[in-house]
Amino acid sequence: MQAYLDCRANKRNTASALQFEQALEANLWALYQRLIDGTYQPGRSICFVVTRPRPREVWAAQFADRIVHHLLYNHIAPRFHAGFVATSCACIPGRGTLYAALQLEHSVRSITQNWSRPAHYLKMDLANFFVAISKPVLLAQLAKRVHEPWWLALARTILFHDPRTDVELRGSPAKLALVPPHKSLFNAPADTGLPIGNLSSQFFANVHLDALDQHVKHQLRARHYVRYVDDFILLHESPQWLNQARADIEAWLPQYLGARANPSKTILQPIARGIDFVGHVIKPWRRTTRPRTLATALRRLERMPAEDLHTAGNSYLGLLRQATHSHADQAQVARLLRRRGHAVAGDLSKIYRKQP
C-alpha cells in the first residue's frame, strides 16, 4: 500500500493511475498474490522519444510494475544510501540538482580558499551510460548488500526483464528515428542496458556507479569530487594530477564496470573560467543559471498555450531562484509572463493566475 501511495504521488490524475484506482483493493491484492507465489512478471512498456535537450528514448512501465519498483526501492534503497559517498547525487532523497550544485560550489570555495588561489577541474561523463550498463555486473553489486533471497530474486526479475519483448511504440517513425542507433536500447545486447524512465533504473544506476565513487575517493584519494548520475567532476590544484586521474579512470571503467568515458565530453580547465554543471554555472563569487536553460525557458514560455503558462512559469521562476545571481534572468522571464497577461510578485518569485 505504501508503494502504491508513493507511486501515485503527483500522478494521480494520469490515465494509468485512474484505471488502477477504479478497482484498487482487487488490483493490489492480485499484485500481492503474484509477488508472494512467485508468478509476478513485468508487463508491457511504452516507449517514446523526447527531444530536449537531445533525442533519447523514454520507457514507461505499467502502473502495477511501477508499484513493484517502489516496493523494491523502499525496502533495499536505505541500506545502499547509507554507504554512498556524500557527494553522490540524483535519485537520493534530498540530493537533487541544487544539492549537487551546492556541493560543487562548496568544494570550489574550499580548494581555491574563496577564489584566492588557482585550481583546475576535470569533468567527465560515461558514453551511452544507461544503454551500456552490464546487468551481470550490476546484479553482483546488488547481491553484496541484498542478502534476503526473496528480495534479491525480485531485484533480478526487474533487472533482467527485457522491455523490448513487449512494447508499445508511441510517436511518429521519424521522431523515433532521431535517437542515434548506439543510444537506443533496441540495439543493446540482451544482458546490457536499462530503460530510462523507471525508478528502478535510476536506483540501479546509482548502485552501479557507487563503485566508481569509492574508487575515486579511496584509491585516487580525490578530496573534491561530485557526481550527478554519470556526470562527475574532480577538483585539484595540479592539472597534471587530474590528467593522471583521468587516465586511471579511463582504464578502470572498462575493467571493473564494462563502461567507458566519453572523450568528447572530457574537460580539463582552470576553475576561474567557470564550471557548467547540473544546469548551473559556477564562477568567482557567483552561481548563475546555464544560459541555454534560460534561452529554452524563454522560447517555451513564448510559444506555450495559455492554459499551461501558469504552472510552467512558476516552475521556471523557481528553477532560476536556485542560483545566487539570477535576478536579471528572473526579470526576463517575468517581463515575458507580464506581456502574456499574468501578474508577477514583486520579488519575482511567482506569478498569479489570470482572472477570467
Q: Is the dihedral of CA 158, 162, 167, 172 positive or negative?
A: positive
As a whole number, mean pLDDT of residues 276-295 equals 95
Nearest-angstrom CA–CA distance, 312 and 304: 9
What are 47-84's pLDDT values in tens digits? 999 988 889 999 999 999 999 999 999 999 999 999 99
Who contacts 76 (Cβ-Cβ below 8 Å, separation ≥6)?
142, 145, 146, 151, 155
Which DSSP string do the residues of 112-145 spell out, in sequence order? TTTTTS--EEEEEEBTTHHHH-BHHHHHHHHHTT
Q: Check residue 83 and give its pLDDT.
A: 96
Q: Is the predicted pLDDT of residue 353 greater than 90, yes or no? A: no
| pLDDT tens, position by position, 250-265 | 999 999 999 999 999 9
Query: Residue 325, Cβ neighbours under 10 Å: how many?
Result: 13
3-state secondary structure of 339: helix
Helix (H) or strand (E) holding 30: helix 24-37
Provide the 10 A C-beta neighbour count for residue 230: 23
pLDDT number for residue 54:
86
Angstrom distances, CA of residue 284 to CA of 117, 176, 287? 11, 42, 8
CA atoms of 28 and 30, how far apart (whole Å)? 5
Q: What is the pLDDT of residue 355?
A: 65
Q: What are the cell numbers at 296?
A: 529554452
The predicted structure's pLDDT at residue 192: 96
CB 352 within 8 A of CB 342: yes
How far is Cα 229 from Cα 126, in angstroms, rounded to an integer?
10
Q: Does the structure show a pLDDT above 90 at 129? A: yes
Q: What is the mean pLDDT of the chain?
A: 95
Element (H, E) at 224: strand 224-228
Q: Is 135 exposed, middle or buried (0-12, 13-18, 19+ CB in 10 A)?
A: buried
Residue 71: which residues within 8 A CB-CB, separation 6 or more? 3, 35, 154
- Tens-place pLDDT, residues 185-197: 999 998 999 999 9
Confidence (pTM): 0.92
Q: Using one digit for the tens of pLDDT, what is the confidence trace for 10-54? A: 788 888 899 999 999 999 999 999 999 999 999 999 999 998 888
Mean pLDDT of 98-127: 97
pLDDT at 47: 96
Record the cell numbers describing residue 161, joined without a space: 526483464
Query: Which of the four pLDDT bands, split at 50, 70 and 90, describes residue 356?
Result: low
**If you search the block for the grid coordinates 510517436, which residue do you land on?**
171
At 122, phi and psi to the nearest 5?
Answer: -115, 120
Note the pLDDT tens digit of each residue in 152-180: 999 999 999 999 999 999 988 899 999 99
The pLDDT of residue 95: 96
With H, G, I as helix, E, B as strand and everything else as coil, classify residue 235.
strand
> What pLDDT shows up at residue 282?
97
Q: What's the pLDDT at 204?
A: 98
Distances in whole angstroms, Cα of residue 162 to Cα of each of 167, 181, 201 = 10, 18, 13
* CA–CA distance, 82 with 33 (Å, rounded to integer): 31
Instruction: Determine the pLDDT at residue 53.
Output: 80
Q: Report residue 218's pLDDT band, with 50, 70 and 90 as the boundaries.
A: very high
Alpha-carbon span 179 to 48, nearest angstrom = 10
